[in-house]
Amino acid sequence: MDEMAPTSRKSKTTCMQCRARKSDDAGFALAQNVVLRKSDAVENLLLVPIVFEGIDLASILHSRGRIGRHRPLLDTRSTEAGHTPLSNDGALPDRQEIISLVEAYFQHIYALPWYAFLHKRSVMQRCHEGTIEDCLAFAICAVTSQRLKIEPYAREISAQWAQKAEDFLLQNLESPSTSRLQALILIVRYRVEVGHFSRAFMLAALAGRSAVALRLNYERPELRFLAQEVRRRLMWSCFALDGNFSVGLREFETCPPENVFLQLPCPETAFEQDAPVETAPLRATSFDRPERIGTYAACIRLAAIRTDIMRLTRRLASSLVPPEELMHTVRRFEDELQHLYRSLADSDRYNPKIFSYCERPARILMVHECWHQAYTDLYRIFLTGYREAAPPSAMEGINREDILRRRTLCLNHALSIVQIFAAFSEQCKVLTIDFDTAICAYHSARIILFSAQTDVVTQSLSMPAALEKARFCQSIMNRFFRTSPVVEPMKKELEMLIARHSSQNTSTGIQLPHPEEVLEDHLSRLADEARTRQRLAIHSLIGRADFVDDSNEVTSPAPPRDNNSNGISTASLRSQRQRPPRNTMTVKPNPQILRSQSVPGVPQTGQSKQPDRVIEGGSGEPTNYALEDQGQWLDGMRLAFNPWMGWPETLETYGFSQDLDDEYF
């Protein structure tokens, strides 16, 4: 029976030359020449001398005790000038290099929670057998070489690998599979890391649709545990990816939490050993007894909590929330965060030496920094005058002691994040961390500087001490995200904040430029109504996407080049359409997102002192919200924004009443 059965593509006895020729026909040939016995593959594993920022990859892996002896597998000519490890047809390098890159992925990148959807033993086995799907191999190698800056693969060659994987996925769009979805998520992450935000945004929607098409959002109890867990982790990775772009805005969601009917991922030991275990749902149904959740599950739950806190912040900016309801919501978030911490294993709870002995310090870092960041996201709404704070009217009717207590807690959690960064930096030498670390560092530095400059927090640091903390946050961002397009705007604004607070002009009332100007006005393509309603942060990925509103060209012919009476070129007119001046809109934007366009260090002529516009001491954060007529800008909030057409329309256009729907946020 076995002799008559056709040879499976996954069979170990399949002729590798035939398989390579078959792959060549599709344009995705892996340079696979022979099938190594598993013992030989393990012996030769990770011996390729790949240069990593002056250190070869074999040495890096040897430091983890993974290598017994070093035996080069590449011809030395491949690293000489004019030579690359790519074959003539642009395929992957030989299989030993593929194995090295995949192993590097699991050693250094898998620790990041949003990359933890691959099962190491299964993927490595397919690599040894030569049965790993080409697009997944391309994607893993591209992500690994890009994130770890491995030469000679970084940049050009990793970009070719990413493009080949993406081309294959788009050509086979109608036939998704688990491996292809894994590759697609990696490619979206790659596009984000290299700054291709628009492309990443569109591909992320395909990932969400593919996950639903494969029914990954439902449990499959008839499958073996490992298969179920791979499905869960893949779906939760889509959920996290969707959250990175939608940031709580319903209009951008493709994987809303109410459509994910799965338990959270299991702890790593159970995943590695294929040991069935039942885990908790996305959100706790009761806070009475602790649950047992792993670090990966904790990161996913924290992401969901922070998303809901962002929705609360937007709701406070757009409508009046009764003080009783607001404080009830705040206390529930506090209870949920405390319950989450109690649900961590004892070994995962924070202590000052945790990074010196934990297996995945980058993931432990993310759990604890995000836990504290969730608190700062929640409590900063009480920091009157802070950019992300609620309007002063929202604080009316709330006990003064409750407000002051949460302002102090906001600062304390920001300081805790800096302490965690210091311990992490001192105790371990990881090669890559998630960009959410930069977001936490950025917000912590801003809160610390704001508290030191104002009297909003009763017990705050002195300005020299606050500047020291902010500079340390800046050093973390520069160390791990030196060339990151995602982090660059945050680094620029933080640099300006530190320079401003270090100068002698902090009491002149000169305001820091709006982050939109720091980002070279990257949000000016959006209508003012969209900016008002969406309240995108400086680190928002969708805010960085470079979509162009061409509605005017669709609805009316473009003006002819010769008949332009004003002498303005068509290109100039197109530029004006892409970047509409803010003062041309008739709707008054939310005062919480308006900022002075003054340049730091340059006094404005004819500008009189207005103590009511700047907190005493010059915080760099506006405080004129109480003087604004809230009813005026709430009218602007009644407009919806269609991001694909660009025209403001009333909510009634979409079948909603003119009263804002809280669920929309």
- Per-residue pLDDT reduced to its tens digit, 440-454: 999 999 999 999 999
**Average pLDDT estimate for 480-491:** 93
Report whether pLDDT(560) > 90: no
The reply to whether 373 falls in a domain is: yes
Which contiguous run of DSSP H or E holds residue 93?
strand 92-94
When the pLDDT of each residue in the chain is averaged and rounded to a whole number, the result is 74
Query: Is there a single domain that holds both residue 367 and residue 502?
Result: yes
Query: Is there a single domain that holds both residue 435 and residue 473?
Result: yes
Q: Which of 480, 513, 546 is the last residue of a domain?
A: 513
Query: Is there a single domain that holds both residue 547 and residue 464?
Result: no
Q: With bands split at pLDDT 50, 70 and 90, how would you rate the model's confidence at 556?
A: low
Query: Is there a single domain that holds both residue 522 and residue 475?
Result: no
List 30's β-bridge partners, or say none: 92
**CA–CA separation, 406 and 401 (whole Å):** 9
Query: Is there a single domain that holds both residue 505 and residue 541?
Result: no
Count of alpha carbons within 13 angstroms of residue 329, beta-carbon side: 18
Q: Which of 169, 197, 214 is the last residue of a domain?
A: 214
**CA–CA separation, 580 and 527 (whole Å):** 8
Highest-confidence range of 23-27, 275-279, 630-634, by mean pLDDT?
275-279
The reply to whether 222 falls in a domain is: no
Q: Which of 168, 199, 214 is the last residue of a domain?
A: 214
**Average pLDDT estimate for 511-515:** 49
**Average pLDDT estimate for 483-495:** 94
Query: Is there a single domain that holds both residue 163 and residue 130?
Result: yes
Highest-confidence range of 55-69, 137-151, 365-379, 480-494, by mean pLDDT?
365-379
Query: Is there a single domain that holds both residue 358 and residue 439?
Result: yes
In this structure, what token pair is assigned to residue 423? Answer: 């311990």
Query: Is there a single domain that holds both residue 62 and residue 206?
Result: yes
The reply to whether 251 falls in a domain is: no
Do 378 and 309 meet the contact criterion of CB atoms below 8 Å apart?
A: yes
Look at the chain and report how many structural domains it folds into.
3
Query: Is there a single domain that holds both residue 525 and residue 643?
Result: yes
Omega before 152 within 30 of 0, i.e. cis:
yes
Report whether pLDDT(360) > 80: yes
The reply to whether 266 falls in a domain is: no
Query: Is there a single domain that holds both residue 451 and residue 581?
Result: no
Place of tokens 């791979």: 230
**CA–CA separation, 301 and 278 (whole Å):** 16
What pLDDT does 42 receive?
Answer: 28
What pLDDT does 248 receive?
Answer: 79
The reply to whether 608 falls in a domain is: no
What pLDDT does 551 receive?
Answer: 54
**CA–CA separation, 650 and 219 (whole Å):** 39
The reply to whether 379 falls in a domain is: yes
Q: At what angle do helices 436-453 and 361-379 cross, to 10 degrees?
A: 40
Query: Is there a single domain that holds both residue 532 and residue 505?
Result: no
The reply to whether 230 falls in a domain is: no
Query: The domain containing residue 392 runs over which residues?
Result: 277-513
The reply to whether 545 falls in a domain is: yes
Report whether pLDDT(326) > 90: yes
**CA–CA separation, 110 and 123 (whole Å):** 12
Q: DSSP string of 612-659?
A: TTB-TT--SSB-GGGGS-HHHHHHHTTEEE-TTT--EEEGGGGT--SS
Query: Is there a single domain that holds both residue 538 and residue 494?
Result: no
Nearest to 316 by CA among 592, 652, 650: 592
Count of alpha carbons within 13 angstroms of residue 287, beta-carbon side: 11
Report whether pLDDT(490) > 80: yes
| DSSP designation for 520 | T
Lowest mean pLDDT among 61-65, 233-237, 430-434: 61-65
